[in-house]
Amino acid sequence: MMKILSGRAHPELAKSICDVLDVELCACNVDTFPDGETFIKINENVRGRDVFLIQPTCPPTNQNLMELLIMVDAAKRASAERITAVIPFFGYARQDRKDQPRVPITAKLVANLLVASGVDRVLTMDLHAGQIQGFFDIPVDHLYAAPVLINYVKKKGIDNLVVVSPDVGGIKMSHAYAGALGVDFAIVAKNRISATKVEALSVIGEVEGKNVLLVDDMTETAGTLTAAAQLLRERGAKDIYAGVSHAVLSDLAIKRLADSPIQELVTTNSTPVEKSERVTPLSVAELLGEAIRRIHWGESVTSLFDI
């Protein structure tokens, strides 16, 4: 029997997934003591159950990650048969290698913490670096938001479209989107000055007189997207749209988007995102719900990996 639990990171997504699966969200108390410590009590029997914990590790990242680990421990000690951590947005994924002396590989640390806490399986979506799957010694099901985003773009019917990667690292993703949409693609070369400031340098490909879809896996400060959009506008691009799997939008990002040539940022609700004039969140509840259903019944999840 399946049990679905949710932390406080994104209860709306958890409820939507339960609606897709036609199951009730498992009752549990998640509280914070006066000293900041987290307390969790599962109020239903989960002994021998197949438990799915839905908790993106979005900001406040440390709080949400610790809350997930404590929920796993609670379920483990309540004799759950199997525990799957459903992490639509996997925080710390950008710290996946030593790119400077004496720095941590935090993505690997988080993987170790999840396994040590008692997680049996991980279900996630659009990792910043796909090789993070190899940081785990347990099964990882890695979904893609591309089918959801591509379906939306197709319905908009944007003509004379070109897909653009805002940096060299996103070439593979942009090429997949361009192939699915049957259009050309281009690349913006960038130089990162700091964690919040990016400089777009040049465009590889033809964008003059074309409508543009910028594609990236995530945006936080919107520095990469807005710098690329400004350069594309200078190179003669017409309407500019952006599609990202995860939008962890800070106040700086909201301001930058408002001041940028980007008409619409299309993203998913892998993290809590408010719909606004410039931002359109699309639900991934059906995608995640179907993956949970297949995992529970021992069916293949492979077809859901396809872009």
Which residues have CB under 8 Å from 254's CB, separation 6+? none
H/E segment holding residue 111: helix 106-117
pLDDT at residue 208, as a whole number: 94
Out of 76, 154, 156, 190, the active site residue is: 190
2-143+285-305 topology per CATH: Rossmann fold (3.40.50)
pLDDT at residue 168, as a whole number: 79
For tokens 């421990």, what's the residue? 73
Burial letters 64-85, b for 16+ CB under 10 A, else e:
bbbbbbbbbebbbebebeebbb
Which residues have CB under 8 Å from 26's CB, separation 6+? 3, 4, 5, 42, 43, 44, 46, 51
CA distance 273 to 166: 22
Which DSSP category does 173 fall into? Answer: H
CATH architecture of 146-282: 3-Layer(aba) Sandwich (3.40)
pLDDT at residue 195, as a whole number: 59
pLDDT at residue 45, as a whole number: 98
Based on the residue annotation, tell me whether 3 is a catalytic residue of this protein: no
CA distance 297 to 277: 41
pLDDT at residue 307, as a whole number: 58
**How crowded is residue 37: how many other Cβ atoms within 10 Å of its Cβ?**
10
CA distance 257 to 247: 12
pLDDT at residue 243, as a whole number: 97
Angle (CA) 177 178 184, round 5°: 160
Distance of CA 10 to the CA centre of its chain: 12
pLDDT at residue 233, as a whole number: 94
CA distance 129 to 35: 35
Angle (CA) 272 278 282, round 5°: 45
pLDDT at residue 110, as a whole number: 98
Which DSSP category does 25 fall into? Answer: B
Every domain of the chain and the residues it spans: 2-143+285-305, 146-282
Measured distance between the N- and C-terminal CA atoms of the chain, rounded to whole angstroms: 31
* Identical fold between 2-143+285-305 and 146-282: yes
pLDDT in tens, the chain (307 residues): 999 999 999 999 999 999 999 999 999 999 999 999 999 999 999 999 999 999 999 999 999 999 999 999 999 999 999 999 999 999 999 999 998 999 999 999 999 999 999 999 999 999 998 899 999 999 999 999 999 999 999 999 999 999 999 887 788 899 999 999 999 999 988 666 665 665 657 888 999 999 999 999 999 999 889 989 998 999 999 999 999 999 999 889 999 999 999 999 999 999 999 898 899 999 999 999 999 999 999 999 987 866 5
- State the pTM of this model: 0.93
pLDDT at residue 224, as a whole number: 87
Burial class, 181, CB count within 10 angstroms (exposed 0-12 / middle 13-18 / buried 19+)? middle
